[in-house]
Amino acid sequence: MTAIALPLDVEGIKKLLPHRDPFLMIDEVLEFTAHQSVTAVKNVSADEPHFAGHFPGMPILPGVLIVEAIAQAGGVLSHLSHPALEPKPLYMLARVEDARFRRPVVPGDRLLIRVTADKVKRGMWWYSGEASVDGQLAATATIVCAPGGDNV
């Protein structure tokens, strides 16, 4: 396997994921262990479009976007674990279980996302994810991602 140079910046992430602005939810990959775990970062910026309506005068990152960041980090873990796989499958969010939101995430926060692979079966990945800000847990979720699109 080819060594992965970390940290992986947004351009490296774009080589793995099809997401683009404004829906690319991770900015950097800090740590990676094949088939086991990944640690990624989302820098929460005040100019993100969802803050105009969520909520005016009190911007809070929507919880569904935190879950999406966890799922995208999981997709990065899947792709980095199988770098030679071509064509690269499009991993789609298939299930979210037990999502919990513990603290608001606001502009200026640096969201640290840790995802652990719990199981892989028939190309589907089960992950446990958590997102934190300054050591405080912001959200947790268990998710399942499945290969989809034209590459299945």
Tokens 């279980």 identify what position?
97
Query: Is residue 82 among the annotated active site residues?
Result: no
Q: Taking the C-alpha atoms of 102, 104, 110 and 114 in order, what is their torsion angle to the nearest 10 degrees?
A: 30
Alpha-carbon distance of 105 to 93, in angstroms, equals 22
Alpha-carbon distance of 71 to 23, in angstroms, equals 12
Say which of 19, 50, 54, 79 is annotated catalytic. 54
Report the catalytic residues.
54
